[in-house]
Structure 1
Amino acid sequence: MTTVEQWLVQSPLEAADKRVLFEFVTGLDRIRQMTHSKNVLSPQALEKLREVEQKRLAGIPVPYITGVQEFYGRTFSVGPSVLIPRPDTECLVEWLIENLPHGIQVCDLGTGSGCIAETLKLERSDLDVLASDLSRSAIETARRNAVSLKADVRFLEGSWLKPYVGHFDLKAIVSNPPYIRSRDPHLKALTFEPQNALVAQENGLAAYREILSEAKSLKFNPHIIAFEHGYDQGESVRSIFSEFGMEGSKTHKDYGGNDRFTVWCRT
């Protein structure tokens, strides 16, 4: 017989992971894991715990095992077709919430789980929020999250700005595009996440040029463009804005003090 306490002590998983996965399997939150520490686990619970333990030991991220990830105080469904939302992206969202003009139309390119677009709509109901992704599976995940969270966001399928041509008057463009270099050693820890949402050519900078090129060629005239990027890409992204005649962009830091997103505002 194995008790709650024994499993938590004996499991080789990291402490935070085992607590989350134990709650996922048994429904016992961290407080009840302590108050029910002597309870004996059923054979069914032990089998399920062994299953999720092996998945985690194989490197599968916890959110892909549980199917959910917290972002800006809300729970988003996630799966292998979308990136796992990161806390650093909340810094970009906070800036947008505080600085986007009232009532404008804003699009989130490469929306993935929908965490940026849906958080914007839920925190700023005055905004007309649209979101798009090249991946149909990602759009389906984002739509499910929108229904669950009651976020009134419109979704389009397609590459960058092409789905918006002729139909929308976009005043703000937001994107957390692929920005990791193809040879970046950090990719070894991200093998279970969709690589096409992580990796970009041109040293991780291709997506920024593609989006700005489309904005120009498709004659969009946004007042604000905001891009998330890697900790060492702020200067490069500012230079790309300048390549397209967009001077005065500013890079902002994340919670760890690293460059994380760059914003250009029309003057």
Structure 2
Amino acid sequence: MEKISATTAFFALSQETRLDIFRLLVQSGELGRTAGEIAQTLDVRQNTLSNNLAVLLKAGLVARAREGRNIRYTANTETIRDLLSFLLEGCCQSRPDLCHPLIERSAKLTEAPMAQETYNVLFLCTGNSARSLMAEAIMNREGLGKFRAVSAGSMPSENGPHPYAVELLENLNHDTSGTRTKSWAEFAGAEAPKLDFVFTVCDKAAAEVCPVWPGQPMSAHWGVPDPVATSGNEAEKRLAFAQTYGMMRNRISAFTSLPLETLDKFSLQKQLDEIGQIKDLGTDL
């Protein structure tokens, strides 16, 4: 990396909002974020966000790609890697005591992220009336006690759980006694359980606004079509709920089979993103 490129990158990251944007995109991995998601998470106005994204793009710290009507932004980690290499060039030859803490911190990123008896999982969607509720029920059964699942919505349905979702879960012998719609605020406070994984299950392909969870849990987007929005007769609507259940069950089965104790964070994130691409509906219910 040339000195002028390093100077440009440092200038881009010297402002607090731009630094927050870049760190959020780094945490988001290959999935990245749309401008709307970034603005929602960081509580930044669109015009302010646009100006700061332009600076990050010019510095090569951020990449963008069009996705329908939206533009998706991702962190250009190669640039930050080059920047770190530029900074540390010759460091260990003269001052190994300075380099060791940096190397030690970098090594932690490739350690197995979790080796614990149970993992807390949150499923998020908009209304929390069908998809996320079904995912919660599936995970609590498929997880066999290793995973504890909850679900919530950014705008939980005032009408409560959709009756087709509850009926389907009951027919498949899931316990629905505690099934209810909930706001994600319940799991964001200091008293809430520490979350290990957060999965959004809304459908971005349908231009649906998907909630974005801030913070440190590992996260991925597992979007599925909203069965509540299905038009047609009663049989067609019930089929949509069954298909959503089948798709989510396949993804959760793939997730619970992962060797979490042996995967480093980068490998695990890649696996989580790939699971979100599974479209197979599986066997008949």
TM-score where L is the length of structure 1: 0.33
Task: Answer 1 or 2: higher relative contact order, Cα 8 Å, separation at least 6.
Answer: 2
Structure holding more helix per residue: 2
TM-score by length of 2: 0.31
